[in-house]
Amino acid sequence: MRAARMTDTQEDQENHVTGATIWLTGLPSAGKTTIAYELAARLRGEGHRVEVLDGDEIREFLSAGLGFSREDRHTNVQRIGFVAELLASNGVQVLVPVIAPYADSREAVRKRHESEGTPYVEVHVATPVDVCSVRDVKGLYAKQAAGEIRGLTGVDDPYDEPADPDLRIESQNQTVQESAAQLHALLTERGLL
């Protein structure tokens, strides 16, 4: 007796790989991007499809022309959220290291994911501003202190800390590898890997 051939729909369901958006929010120089790339390398090594939507790259290519007003920041976050959901709904683990300073903007992205049935994880890289200003990866804190720039998130522009993130990472108390491992453990626990 011959086994019945699976229909394309059955085959698609059987081969479906769950994607998710993992949004890393935090102050400038908190360690978001470093953690994201560390985790991305580990996930790729395990055979997962991974994309990192780096906030700086998105600003250059997808959101060129946007400034740093509240409205422009909201638009930038929504654009990134749209792309992240699109990729995640197609089986990609999408790591999004983006400041996203306003709670309502992040909540809108979460709701979009929920309405599409796409997993979304919010990670607060909760590095204190004094530690971030010492790290000052891009020299932003020094420029702000010298009066060369205004509107630096967490200094002279607001940052709404997530009230109830899925994970809070205090990067100043652990290595990058430990931070990535902590996030990997959460994704595994939630069945997203």
pLDDT in tens, 175-187: 999 999 999 999 9
Gap between the Cα atoms of 160 and 163, Å rounded: 8
Residues 6 or more apart in contact with residue 1 via CB below 8 angstroms: none
Distance between start and end Cα atoms, the chain: 37
Amino acid, res. 128: P
pLDDT surpassing 70 at residue 114: yes
pLDDT surpassing 70 at residue 56: yes
pLDDT in tens, 18-46: 899 999 999 999 999 999 999 999 999 99
The pLDDT of residue 63: 87
pTM of the model: 0.89
When pLDDT is averaged across residues 119-134 and rounded to a whole number, the result is: 96
pLDDT surpassing 70 at residue 1: no
Higher pLDDT, 156 or 122: 122
The pLDDT of residue 12: 44
Gap between the Cα atoms of 52 and 129, Å rounded: 24
pLDDT surpassing 50 at residue 11: no
pLDDT surpassing 60 at residue 16: no
What tokens appear for 77 in the block? Answer: 């976050």
Give the mean pLDDT of the chain: 91
How many CB atoms are located within 10 Å of the residue 52 CB?
18
| Contact call for residues 19 and 49 (beta carbons, < 8 A) | yes
The pLDDT of residue 34: 97
The pLDDT of residue 85: 98
The pLDDT of residue 9: 44
DSSP annotation of 7 reads: P
What tokens appear for 175 in the block? Answer: 């290595």
Residue with tokens 């501003």: 129
What confidence tier does 167 reach under pLDDT thresholds 50, 70, 90? very high
pLDDT in tens, 64-104: 889 889 999 999 999 999 999 999 999 999 999 999 999 99
How many CB atoms are located within 10 Å of the residue 15 CB?
9
